[in-house]
Amino acid sequence: MAYPRYGGGLGNFSNQMQMGQPMPGTGPAVLPGGYPAYPAYPDSYSSAGDPMWTYFTAVADQDGEVDAEELQKCLTQSGISGTFSPFSLETCRIMIAMLDRDYTGKMGFNEFKELWAALNAWKQNFITVDKDGSGTVERHELNQAIAAMGYRLSPQTLTAIVKRYSKNGRIFFDDYVACCVKLRALTDFFRRRDHLRQGVVSFIYDDFLQGTMAI
């Protein structure tokens, strides 16, 4: 069976979906395997005459691409995480791995633009998920967010995720992004092998390591 897409209104948000961004106002399409459906990758952008170009060239150094350290510096300075602490380098690496389509390990201009748009969408999503406005996502808020994205996880798995991504029970923006992106990536890895769509997969050790260590 084919994986259904989210209903309606992808529009400008289509680039965010590849990072696991839920669409506001659309119900998740939960599949028998317990994970949600996502749309295919959108087309690339055109870079001609783009105002973002100036910003990109300031962030990228002479090689014309943005690496994880440069991205971390730029995101820390942008204040997108809402804290004074440095933006997580791990999150930068994860995001680059997800959007690095030409496998340079760095962000070219079009990749950078997608990343930027996705991050802004994540920020909006984070604000929505943080229902009590504490500036962080707590366990019950994450539980609701994950369910809204269409995932079905056990309380034990939720506990493991919170333990891994929170600081004193609070999940900050950069860790929230890393958590959601990784959940999406691992789900995709699993789904590609779940040919019967039953949430059960058999794979060899090396395949498992290749898929999980790279994320």
In DSSP terms, 167 is beta-bridged to 170
CA pair distance 151, 187, nearest whole angstrom: 9
Burial group, residue 87, by CB count within 10 angstroms (0-12, 13-18, 19+) = buried
Give yes or no for residue 130 binding Ca ion (CB under 5 A).
yes
Cα–Cα–Cα angle for 60, 64, 65, rounded to 5 degrees:
65
Give yes or no for residue 132 binding Ca ion (CB under 5 A).
yes
Nearest-approach distance from CB 27 to Ca ion, in angstroms: 23
CA pair distance 209, 211, nearest whole angstrom: 5
User: What binding mask, one character per residue, do residues 76-115 give for Ca ion by CB under 5 A, x or -?
Assistant: ------------------------x-x-x---x-------
Residue with tokens 């991504």: 165
Give yes or no for residue 134 binding Ca ion (CB under 5 A).
yes
Nearest-approach distance from CB 106 to Ca ion, in angstroms: 5
Nearest-approach distance from CB 166 to Ca ion, in angstroms: 11
Query: According to DSSP H, which parts of 66-172 are helical?
Result: 68-78, 89-99, 109-129, 139-148, 155-165
Nearest residue (CB) to Ca ion, 69 versus 207: 69
Stretch that binds Ca ion, among 33-41, 113-121, 129-137, 156-164 (CB under 5 A): 129-137
The residues of the shown chain that bind Ca ion, judged by CB under 5 A, are: 100, 102, 104, 108, 130, 132, 134, 138
